Structures are given as structure tokens and as C-alpha cells.
């Protein structure tokens, strides 16, 4: 799957995410151009699609410029150097028993033909840290180190954001969800060996409502 952008930073996010276990996918940087840039990584469903990966607390990015990591719009030193056109970035996540720490499915109420989400006890559930969780990046098969750890429980999706100056060709990247990777790491440094994201089943959304009947199609 390829993705590109002809304007400012916007995020593209996969439709299948993971809650627990170790998982891996790759992104090849096909084209940056003179002024193009990318931020690659992971995002939950709450990540802002109208902003780059790492803009908020729901996404985690690896930046082409100087190889820094980005979360909550804060850039920090990470890799020894950035990445360029032709490089392949491996994205690794490990959420040991993450299902135990994931938020409960949302509750919905049907009111005047619309579905609304609500907290059953009037309070929003506080996020829980997944013990031993981590997110790491690989550049052409070589680990750049642990980028983030102690992740909150939830469903994490592959994500990328691209930036291109006006009147310039698109910045383009290509996702590879496996199983045939270009640079599958030979050494994960003692980390659990991940499964390819291609093996993730489609999970959909819970359409159950508390009162009334939804007019959405049943599948």
C-alpha cells in the first residue's frame, strides 16, 4: 500500500490494529523530493489524522530529519542520523498481555436517530500502562534502540505522515505488512520475535446500543 501527500502534514492510518503481542511492519521511503519529509510509526484510533504522527499523546513517530522521535509534539534525540529516500524503516511494537490493560469497549445510546458514546458511570476510564511494553524502530534492518516504553493499553495501528512543499511532487511511502519483508531484522536484541501485521484479523467496531434500534446495516 502506497501513500503520498501534496500539501502539509496529514496522517494515514491502517485499518487493522493490535492490542497485545509483538508485531512488525516496514515502510519504504519512495520519494522525499527537495522539501518532502515524513514521520512514521504507530497511532491509536484517537490520533489526529489532520496532523503528523507524534503530534498528540495518541501517536508515536520517527522523523526523517536527524532521526529524532516524536510524541506529544515533543522531538527528542533518538537515532544516530535520519533516513532518506530508499531507506526501509521497520516498526516494532510489543504489548505483553496488552488485552488486560486495554480500555473497555465504549457504551452507546441511541437518541433521536443518532448514536452517542457515553461512560456508564459518568467518568471516563483512566488509561493503564502495559508493563514491559515498548516501541522500537529499525533502519534497513538495524535497531535504532527503544524509542518509547510503558505504553498505555489500547489498539495501535501502523501510521505515516508526509509533508510536501507547494508545487512540488508528492512525498510517497509504501507500507509492507509482510510476510515477505525487505529487511526483517536478524537480531531483535532479546525482544520477542514479532508477527507480521498481515496476520492481524479485521476487528471492526461494536455497534451495540443501549436503547432503541440502530438503523445501520447488520453484517
β-pairing, 134-139 with 142-149?
Answer: antiparallel
pLDDT of res. 208: 46
pLDDT tens-place string over residues 74-92: 999 998 899 999 999 999 9
* Phi and psi based region of residue 188 (left: phi greater than 0; alpha: psi -120 to 50; beta: remaining): alpha
Q: How many CB atoms lie within 10 A of CB 164?
A: 23
pLDDT tens-place string over residues 96-122: 999 999 988 767 777 777 777 666 666
Strand, coil or helix: 110: strand
**Does position 218 have pLDDT exceeding 60, yes or no?**
no
Q: How many CB atoms lie within 10 A of CB 197?
A: 23
**Does position 205 have pLDDT exceeding 70, yes or no?**
no
H or E element, residue 66: none
Ordered structural domains, the chain, with CATH: 2-199 (2.60.120.920)
pLDDT of res. 161: 93
**Does position 200 have pLDDT exceeding 90, yes or no?**
yes
- Interval 5-13 mean pLDDT: 76
Instruction: Tell me whether residue 195 is exposed, middle or buried, using C-beta atoms within 10 angstroms of its C-beta: 0 to 12, 13 to 18, 19 or more.
Output: middle
pLDDT tens-place string over residues 154-175: 999 999 998 887 777 788 899 9
d(CA 141, CA 7): 30
Cell triple for residue 130? 502495559
d(CA 166, CA 118): 42
Amino acid at each position: 500500500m502506497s501513500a503520498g501527500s501534496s500539501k502539509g502534514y496529514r496522517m494515514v492510518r491502517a485499518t487493522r490494529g493490535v492490542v497485545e503481542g509483538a508485531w512488525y511492519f516496514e515502510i519504504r521511503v519512495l520519494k522525499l523530493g527537495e522539501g518532502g519529509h515524513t514521520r512514521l510509526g504507530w497511532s491509536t484510533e484517537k490520533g489526529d489524522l489532520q496532523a503528523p504522527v507524534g503530534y498528540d499523546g495518541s501517536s508515536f513517530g520517527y522523523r526523517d530529519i536527524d532521526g529524532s522521535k516524536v510524541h506529544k509534539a515533543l522531538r527528542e534525540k533518538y537515532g544516530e542520523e535520519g533516513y532518506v529516500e530508499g531507506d526501509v524503516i521497520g516498526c516494532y511494537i510489543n504489548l505483553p498481555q496488552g488485552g488486560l490493560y486495554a480500555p473497555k469497549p465504549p457504551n452507546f445510546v441511541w437518541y433521536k436517530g443518532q448514536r452517542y458514546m457515553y461512560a456508564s458511570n459518568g467518568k471516563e476510564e483512566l488509561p493503564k500502562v502495559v508493563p514491559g511494553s515498548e516501541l522500537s524502530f529499525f533502519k534497513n534492518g538495524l535497531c535504532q534502540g527503544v524509542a518509547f516504553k510503558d505504553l498505555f493499553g489500547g489498539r495501535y495501528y501502523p501510521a505515516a505522515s508526509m509533508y510536501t512543499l507547494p508545487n512540488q511532487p508528492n512525498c510517497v511511502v509504501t507500507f509492507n505488512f509482510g510476510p515477505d519483508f525487505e529487511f526483517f531484522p536478524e537480531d531483535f536484541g532479546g525482544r520477542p520475535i514479532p508477527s507480521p501485521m498481515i496476520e492481524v484479523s479485521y476487528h471492526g467496531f461494536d455497534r451495540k446500543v443501549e436503547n432503541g434500534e440502530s438503523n445501520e446495516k447488520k453484517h
